Amino acid sequence: MKLSTVALVGRPNVGKSTLFNKIVGKQISITEDIPGVTRDRIYQEASYNKKKFYLIDTGGIDTTKMDFNSEIKMQAEIAIDEADIVVFIVDGKEGLTTNDLVVRDILRKTDKKIIVAINKMDVKDAKENIYDFYELGFDTYIPISSIHNIGYIELMDTITMNFKEQEETEDSRVKFSIIGRPNVGKSSLTNALLNEERVVVSNIAGTTRDSIDSILKYNNEEYVIIDTAGMRKKGKVFESIEKYSLFRSLKSIDRSDICIVVINAEEGITEHDKHIAGYAIERGKGLIFAVNKWDTVKDISIQEYEKIMKAEFQFATYAPIVFISALTKKRIHTIMPEVVKVNENIKREIKTSILNEVIQDSYQLNLPPSYKGKRLKIYFTSQTGTKPPKFTFRVNNKGLIHFSYERYLENKIRENFDFEGTPIVLQFKNRNGDEE
């Protein structure tokens, strides 16, 4: 399902983040450190009147900062390249500024729809400054207050005017994305896979910013490859800030069943690799690591490199690892069998009686520690979801769950059932229905 994209741009302190949080319906600080994803969360899926879309919150554009030329170019390219609609937020209280004019000059070069949101209209001075903003020369102006809800409905109606209500269409084909930081060989791997199978059936055109999904047939089954083509280099400035290049991976991850995270064997594992893999796990996607450019590595064996991978990706030791060379096509044949296997595992369902037997045996083998004279008791366990597999435990008091015992239970489930390549979710509920 292809979603439209809306970008919020403007100078610092005009209320972008406040509006961003209001639209997505929760507090998301773009500078908050969120483990496993990225230090700067700049986008979120949002919805309004059953219309879903992606929302980007960009950093404030300020001409007084050092190296401003490169920064403003990066910000403008992100907003313009990714967005269907750009919401240009200005500060009604302070009035028109030089920074606003600079942003205007950049946005005027695009053919995207620009909506000027004049924020802080709850302040008296803003009403006196409102007409100054017409100097910006755009067609649509909406006075708002992100804090006091002024103009919000009109703004959202205008943003989503031409968006269609999203209806899920059933597509049973397995979709897998090839993701990773810039220049690790994602597109080369996509091309190698398609050429290896030699059965490209058709192309499904996405939007101008999204990738084109390719269809290949493997063992008489169709698979959809989502290549993050949008991550290709468009200039040193654009791709040198990796926190913004991540956005393109995020959209592909959301549309996938399985993610293949490409690692550059020459450069080794970076924090950005971990962020991308972490987001795939957070979204409940199947996971495969592809160590690319393996033909260039001479001083380490596959077994040794696997140990390094397991150590670096301790949160995803269940993910299979393949070693390939997209350029020479060596070992490319090892990827599709892993895709097939992981697809089976993310949909795997365990019989309740067998599951309870395993959990009770594990419980008796290693009793949880007592806390203030109370000990966790597990009465019943059932599988309550797939993609990813989800297990619900009925217990006496879910407050007695310690993260180490939860990890122990997950390990026992993995020991007894094949969930290679898929995250699994454990949920604990009190048997008496009291969730406090």
Task: Read off the pLDDT of residues 78-135 as tens digits, 9 standing for 90 and up.
Answer: 667 778 999 999 998 888 998 889 888 888 888 889 999 999 888 777 777 888 899 9
Residue 175 contacts residue 255 (beta carbons within 8 Å) = yes
> For a pLDDT cut of 90, what percent of the chain falls above it?
47
Task: Read off the pLDDT of residues 144-173 as tens digits, 9 standing for 90 and up.
Answer: 988 888 899 999 999 999 888 766 556 688
- Higher per-residue confidence, 205 vs 57: 57
Task: Read off the pLDDT of residues 203-260 as tens digits, 9 standing for 90 and up.
Answer: 333 322 344 577 888 998 989 888 664 333 334 334 444 444 556 667 778 889 999 9
| pLDDT computed for residue 246 by the predictor | 57
| pLDDT computed for residue 73 by the predictor | 54
- Higher per-residue confidence, 81 vs 176: 176
Question: How far is residue 52's CA from residue 268's CA, in Å, rounded to a whole number?
Answer: 37
Q: Which of 150, 161, 109, 301 is nearest to 142 (CA)?
A: 150
pTM: 0.67
State the chain's mean pLDDT as an integer: 82
Q: Which of 421, 417, 425 is nearest to 356 (CA)?
A: 417
CA dist 153 → 91, 103, 142, 160, 223 (Å): 19, 25, 10, 11, 41
Token pair listed for 282: 């957070």
Mean pLDDT of 265-275: 90
Strand partners, 217: 222
> For a pLDDT cut of 70, what percent of the chain falls above it?
80
